[in-house]
Structure 1
Amino acid sequence: LCEHPNFEATFKPTLDKGEVEILGKATQGVAKLDKATTNFKEALDGAEIILLVVPSFGHSLFAESFAPYLHDGQLVVLMPGNAGSLEVAKLLKEKGVKKRITIAETATLPYGCRLIEPAKVMVYVNAKLNPTGVLPARNTGEVIDRLKELYPSTTPATNIIEAAINNPNPVTHPIATLLNVGRIEYSKGEFYLYREGITPSVVKVYDAVDDERRALCRKLGIKFYECPPGLPKEDCEIRMGIFFGAGSLYEAGVKMKGPSTTMDRYVTEDVPYGLVFMESLGSMIGVTTSTISSIITLFSIINGEDYRAKGRTVEKLGIAGLTIQQLNDILNEWSL
């Protein structure tokens, strides 16, 4: 387990103990770590699979740090990705990395959890289905087989963009935060988004954004994941149930407190790295995303941030101006 040196202070209990206590809906007990470090060279030595489990705004920071220590045959997996695979791929090329590396990204985390104390986590729910795109997509089969050994919920996506667009967080989090902003600020932190913030009117906006995501997928010829038949209404409405199954709301959602401010990662990650990416991609391929655009604009005003300038755009990912065929060719055949 490797943390960036910038965050060593909060990682110190895990560094000192060399273990993580796990509670809840996973294998309960104390996980003894083979190594806990802030040294990327140590961490990557001998590693076959590198799981990059950080918010999207940390992808480039971590990739810059581990790039010099990559070896042939390693697999880097962003969990989740929000199209960060393309950002990491571009960065590795710019750094002159010449290794045989495969990159993949998931649509969501393999678990819903919270850090409840230093070196102690509570797992509320496990993914039943986790679409995973691979860069290059021609390697999908072999990569999925490897990841299924770690996480049986791993499911092949057409490519990394299919995984990115189907991440439910950029829908669930920003919309409910925006439409409950008065309640969040008034409560001074006593707010549970999944328990009290997803009402019928909020779900109407979810549906409008889903229409735009669905249109993106249709134009790109990739799959949009719908609520499966038989999924309870409340689990479908919060979108979590699509990948975590029945009971997601009561097993996980109602227990997760927050956000307490609009500067939470529900906004600072999901707007610039989720919604901005979809808006930018839609503009490139001719799909209107007016509801998504309105959310970006309003949060840019509320937080005093230009999320379009700050966010993950097709220009920053190095795919601006491509036709759909050209984009698919890159996604299928990419290499360093």
Structure 2
Amino acid sequence: MIHGIRIILKITIIGSGNAGLSHAAMIAKQGHLVTIVKTTRLMYEDSFDVLSQTKQIEYEKDSDKGVVSIEKATRDIPDAVSQADVILILTQSIAHENLSELISPHLRSGQILLVSPGYAGSFYFSTKCKGKGVVFAEGESLPFDSRITAPGKVSICFENIRNPIGVFPSEKTEETLKRLQEIIPRFTARQNVLESAFHNPNLIVHTVGAIMSVARIEHSKGEFWMYRESFTPTIMKLVGDLDSEKKAILEYFELPTQSFAESFQFRTYDDLSADPMEALRHYAQYGSPKGPVDAQTRYITEDVPMGLCFLSSIGRKANIPTPVCDALIAIASSMHQKDYYAEGRTLGQLGIDHYSVGELKNILKKGFPPNA
């Protein structure tokens, strides 16, 4: 909103699952022009068909129920991306590399592309858009916890109190945050996309919880609640050590060293003076989902290669040991009989491993140098 005048933005959402529909509904409700793009035929085809035909989303959020209209639901990536003011990438992080190939050619100057959750996935896009004048942002978690309950219908179970994002280049943070707050007012700023990547809670909680509970997951055959059962005093020592490795890297890059519990509290609780662990215990008891149901859970197949491997890669570049992180990667690789580090998100895979640490710090602030 500028001088009391609400700006109507063209928003393109990549992803038509739970996150895509909840974001589309809440953004369209504010009067913005929303286009939803489906890039695969793996899931939610019936819901996408309804969206294509009706151009409407039925939503439920606490006592608020209603129907909102969208501009269209389409598979036409070039048209949907090129006409947007803001593009939201709301898919699993394992899709970022492929999506960057499909989307980057159609990005143009003045656009903002937000990847959420990010895990540094914005670098797949930014390395392909050097000199284009596109600004990138990353969320560390989704603003809405939601589920598609019927084709074209979404239920929003929870909304974060604060939604931190990092911006690339970070010198564009103030203006980018103002624009993104036009669509999701609860956005707040981290210092850069690296800080945002490491405050994704799944990096710590999903990986330790699922890997260290795999026998219980398989034995229970679906009757398992990770957040309630897994984090015993002994396992919390492991969580603490992994979190310390993350914080050591954040400190090296001169970034705030919040613990995973503190960053969780910042997103989800009004009272920041309370014990952060109490916020987690409350979520585990009253808000956490059931599962995982098997050893192939995305808590491992996504958060190990996309999260832990990136943490390990940064540690290697900065000469900071990450023994717990590396051990978890090795255990997950053995369990699933694959080399997660070779397949995972590393500085090399992102195309930025040839830069020194000093150069990376400068790039995070100012973007890629000319002819980089």
Does 2:83 match 1:46?
Answer: yes
| Alignment-derived partner of residue 18 in structure 1 | 55
SS in 2 for 1:308: helix
Measured in 1, the distance between the counterparts of 2:40 and 2:357 equals 40
Q: Give the letter aligned to residue 2 of structure 1.
A: V
Change in 2 beyond 3 A, CA 1:47/1:174: same
Answering whether residue 331 of structure 2 is matched by residue 298 of structure 1, we say: yes
Q: Is the 8 A contact 2:51 2:152 kept in 1?
A: yes
Q: Please identify runs of 4+ aligned residues in structure 1 that moved more than 6 A.
A: none
Q: Of 78, 84, 90, which aligns to 2:115?
A: 78
2-side partners of 1:213 and 1:303: how far apart? 24
Indicate the residue corresponding to 1:106 in structure 2.
139
Q: 1:313, 1:167 → 2: CA distance?
A: 16
Q: What do residues 212-269 of structure 1 show as CA deviations (whole Å, max 9, x unaligned)?
A: 11111111100122424304634236xxxxxxxxx5445531xx12211222211111
State the partner residue of 2:71.
Answer: 34
Q: Any unmatched runs of 5+ in structure 2?
A: 1-35, 263-271
Please tell me whether the aligned partners of residues 56 and 84 of structure 1 are also in contact (alpha carbons under 8 angstroms). Answer: yes
- What's the offset of the Cα at 1:148? 1.6
Report the equivalent of 2:219.
Answer: 186
Equivalent of residue 146 in structure 1, options 179, 194, 212: 179
Distance 1:28-1:231 versus aligned 2 partners, 3 A rule: farther
**How far apart in 2 are the matches of 1:283 and 1:142?**
34
CA root-mean-square deviation? 2.2
Per-residue CA deviation, residues 120-147 of structure 1 (Å, 9 max, x unaligned), is 3332221222221111111011011111
> 1:218-229, aligned counterparts within 5 Å?
218-226=251-259, 227=262, 228-229=272-273
C-alpha distance in 2, partners of 1:231/1:291?
25
TM-fit CA distance, 1:105: 0.5
How much has 1:152 moved relative to structure 2?
A: 2.5
Distance 1:160 1:153 in 2: 18
Which residue of structure 2 lines up, in the alignment, with residue 135 of structure 1? 168
Q: Is the 8 A contact 1:49 1:74 kept in 2?
A: yes
Distance 2:81 2:206 in 1: 33
- Please give the alpha-carbon distance, in whole angstroms, between the structure 2 residues aligned to 1:285 and 1:82: 18
1:2 corresponds to: 37
Relative to 1, partners in 2 of residues 1:8 and 1:186: Cα closer, same or farther, differing over 3 Å? closer
Q: TM-score, normalised by structure 2?
A: 0.80
1:252 to 287, 307, 315: 287
Q: Corresponding residue for 1:233?
A: 277
TM-superposed deviation, 1:27: 4.8
Q: Is the 8 A contact 1:26 1:123 kept in 2?
A: no
Query: For residues 274-293 of structure 1, what are the structure 2 equivalents within 5 Å?
Result: 274-293=307-326
Q: For residue 240 of structure 1, what is the aligned residue in structure 2?
A: none
Kept in 2: contact 1:44–1:70 (CA 8 A): yes
Q: What residue in structure 2 maps to residue 62 of structure 1?
A: 99
| Structure 1: gaps spanning 5 or more residues | 238-246
Say which SS state the counterpart of residue 320 (structure 2) adopts: coil
Q: Aligned partners of 1:251, 1:143: CA distance in 2, in Å?
A: 35
TM-aligned CA distance change 1:104 to 1:286, over 3 Å: same
